[in-house]
Structure 1
Amino acid sequence: MSKQKKSASPSRVSADLPAPHMVRFKGVPIELGDKTFIFPPLNLGALEQLQERLQNFSADTSPESISVVIDAALASLVRNYPEITRAEIVEIIDLGNMLEIFQAVMDISGLRRKALENLDKENQPAPEVAADADPSTGENSTPI
């Protein structure tokens, strides 16, 4: 019997990746094609390996800048999608999303992710406060 080789095609970019609710690390969600990927911040090991290149990043379309974005995106995504490859990353990043992805990966403090989480919370109705509540404390006012 002959074994048939499975060919990897660009259309398989993220077909085997877990759903967003199964990710291990919080991050910034970015829709790429028909999938939403969660980009967590770089871990310290990746930051150490990429540090010099990241410091020299110039946000242009030079080969070095493009390579840095691809490698940083891979280091980020592999935390939540261990089976993703550099070849798959190359297929999902383009000039239109390159800087957005780089900013998500470099969300070192988690500020962007936290802002997105807060936006979700703001879209929920606010709790009601009693009509005679003190606006500074939320406590009911007592007459003097």
Structure 2
Amino acid sequence: MDDLDKALIGHLRTDARQSVATLARKLRVARTTVQSRLDRLETSGAIAGYTVKLGAEALRPLIRASVLVGIEPRSQAAILSRLRAMPEIERAFTTSGRFDLLLQVAAESTTALDAVLDAVGGLPGVRLSESLIHLTTRIDRAQ
């Protein structure tokens, strides 16, 4: 990946809806150059896709929580398989320390969140869990 690729990705991270012509003008290269670079970056996997980042207004109805999960040895694969089937689980991270997984959960109500937390805690192989309900976002640098 050269400087032009990095600049192209930087512009797309700011606004992925920019046209090829707009990107070419900003980068001071031909449209065909931008298009071929995009094709190559997509084919190589450097660009895995394009998405929408929802603003606070669209996210407001959801209640989010981080859930720390301790699991029994050799249970991770089965637990992750069950977590994938739960649409409220947005992300799952492995961690070091006392807990084995960190889950990002989103639900439409406290009742729905409570049901998800009960379901996670009731999975075979889950030793313990601790949930932290998100209140106010103070910093958000997620891309």
Quick check: TM above 0.5?
no
> Which protein has the bigger strand share?
2
Under a length normalisation based on structure 1, what TM-score does the superposition of the two structures give? 0.27
Please say which structure displays the higher CA radius of gyration. 1
Give TM-score scaled by structure 2 length: 0.27
